């Protein structure tokens, strides 16, 4: 019997396929479909720091004051009355999800500062969440802010959240640090249970006719996965915390690559948006077939088997791979005009 189970954040999952945080998770009916499709756990859509702070209307007043002189900048910010679904409603959503499904339900808290809003981490725990994913979306814009200060802000926020809960905590962050291994070690030393790699930073576009800033969100593609595989393979065996991959996992092949690199789970949303939630059933079945065909008895047996853990010098490995990639390109034949 092939064992597809894995552990993540101390939770035992029936397989490594997890639904990442997305609007799909706003509907309990969708979460039930995810469970029926064999998806092992779900990360709920995020509750944002701004949503919690908006209850006092301080954010609305701040935005109004700061944009009076530059009308064009108003469209950088969301309409908070429409954007805010309400912290209390989010907590109730956790309760309903837990009543509906048996798979783990992981709450998501998105913020950048160690403020009073962090108390909602404890409220999520009390609502029944099996774990918490702290999604830190911080893009420094102040030229005076050093990289060291940026990293310290992350660490302070993580520690603040960790002090408020007993349930397992994962930290989701972006890849834009001068030294990913060093930063991951700092995060690991806070005692978090998992690192989620990586957050995607979404950039708005400019409409040159209306002179407005327009949102531009595109789904990930399979090329998105490569950066995640790279760092998970390099860090496997060097961190105490589990690692999860999110971004670019569209097929069973992507999921398998994540496991071989050393991840404990692979998260996906784009494939469910493209092919439907039921696509999860196909991925799970194909995973079993691949394990049997390649004579693996379990997922845990394959995890990390293609990591850089056993390389004598990771730096030399990196340089060698870099040169191999460059030399692998084949020049196409010139087209006739």
Q: What is the pLDDT of residue 256?
A: 97
- pLDDT digits over 114-153, tens only? 787 888 999 999 999 999 999 998 878 889 999 999 999 9
Q: Sign of the C-alpha dihedral, residues 143, 149, 151, 155?
A: negative
The mean pLDDT value of the chain amounts to 86
How far is C-alpha 164 from the chain's CA centre? Answer: 21
- Two structure tokens written together for 182: 């060093």
Angstrom CA distances, 20 to 76, 179, 192, 204, stand at: 26, 26, 19, 22
* Mean pLDDT value across residues 101-118: 91
* Residue 81 pLDDT grade (very low, low, confident, very high; cuts 50, 70, 90): very low
- In this predicted model, which residue has the larger pLDDT, 123 or 68? 123
Scored b (16 or more CB within 10 A) or e, 237-247 reads eebebbbbbbb
Tokens 């800033």 belong to 213
- pLDDT digits over 205-217, tens only? 888 898 888 876 6
DSSP 210: T
Q: What is the pLDDT of residue 83?
A: 44
How far is C-alpha 209 from the chain's CA centre? Answer: 35
Return the closest-CA partner of residue 165 out of 100, 107, 113: 107
Angstrom CA distances, 32 to 6, 104, 250, 277, 278, stand at: 21, 12, 21, 10, 11
| CB atoms near residue 311 (< 10 Å) | 14
Q: What is the pLDDT of residue 69?
A: 39
- pLDDT digits over 299-333, tens only? 999 999 999 875 555 564 555 555 465 556 676 77
- Two structure tokens written together for 205: 């576009």
* Residue 335 pLDDT grade (very low, low, confident, very high; cuts 50, 70, 90): low
- pLDDT digits over 152-177, tens only? 999 999 999 999 999 999 999 999 99
- The answer, yes or no, to whether residue 35 has pLDDT greater than 90, is yes
Q: What is the pLDDT of residue 305?
A: 93
Return the closest-CA partner of residue 141 out of 150, 133, 132: 150
Percent of the chain residues topping a pLDDT of 70: 82
* Mean pLDDT value across residues 278-305: 97
Residue 108 sits at φ, ψ, to 5 deg, of: -130, 125
- The answer, yes or no, to whether residue 9 has pLDDT greater than 80, is yes
Strands 205-207 and 194-197: unpaired
DSSP alpha helix (H) spans, the chain: 28-36, 49-53, 58-66, 80-83, 87-100, 119-127, 147-162, 180-188, 225-235, 252-261, 270-275, 279-293, 299-302, 314-327
- The answer, yes or no, to whether residue 238 has pLDDT greater than 70, is yes
| Model pTM score | 0.84
């Amino acid at each position: 019997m092939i064992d597809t189970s894995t552990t993540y954040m101390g939770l035992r999952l029936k397989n490594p396929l997890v639904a990442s945080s997305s609007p799909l998770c706003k509907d309990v009916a969708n979460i039930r479909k995810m469970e029926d499709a064999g998806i092992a756990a779900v990360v709920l859509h995020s509750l944002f720091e701004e949503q919690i702070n908006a209850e006092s209307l301080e954010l609305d007043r701040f935005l109004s004051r700061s944009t009076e002189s530059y009308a064009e900048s108003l469209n950088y910010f969301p309409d908070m009355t429409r954007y805010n679904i309400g912290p209390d409603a989010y907590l109730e959503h956790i309760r309903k999800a837990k009543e509906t499904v048996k798979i783990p339900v992981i709450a998501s808290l998105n913020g950048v500062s160690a403020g009073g809003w962090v108390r909602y981490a404890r409220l999520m725990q009390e609502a029944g969440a099996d774990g918490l994913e702290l999604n830190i979306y911080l893009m420094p814009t102040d030229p005076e802010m050093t990289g060291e200060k940026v990293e310290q802000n992350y660490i302070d926020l993580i520690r603040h959240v960790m002090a408020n809960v007993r349930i397992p905590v994962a930290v989701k962050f972006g890849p834009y640090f001068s030294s990913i291994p060093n930063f991951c070690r700092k995060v690991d030393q806070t005692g978090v249970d998992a690192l989620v790699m990586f957050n995607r930073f979404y950039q708005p576009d400019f409409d040159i006719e209306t002179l407005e800033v327009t949102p531009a969100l595109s789904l990930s593609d399979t090329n998105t996965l490569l950066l995640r595989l790279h760092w998970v393979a390099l860090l496997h065996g060097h961190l105490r915390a589990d690692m999860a991959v999110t971004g670019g996992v569209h097929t069973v092949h992507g999921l398998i690559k994540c496991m071989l690199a050393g991840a404990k789970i692979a998260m996906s949303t784009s494939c469910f948006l493209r092919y439907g939630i039921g696509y999860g059933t196909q991925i799970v079945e194909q995973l079993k077939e691949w394990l049997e065909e390649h004579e693996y008895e379990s997922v845990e047996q394959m995890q990390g088997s293609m990591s850089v853990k056993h390389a004598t010098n990771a730096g030399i490995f990196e340089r060698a791979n870099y040169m191999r990639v460059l030399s692998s390109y084949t020049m196409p034949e010139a087209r006739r005009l």
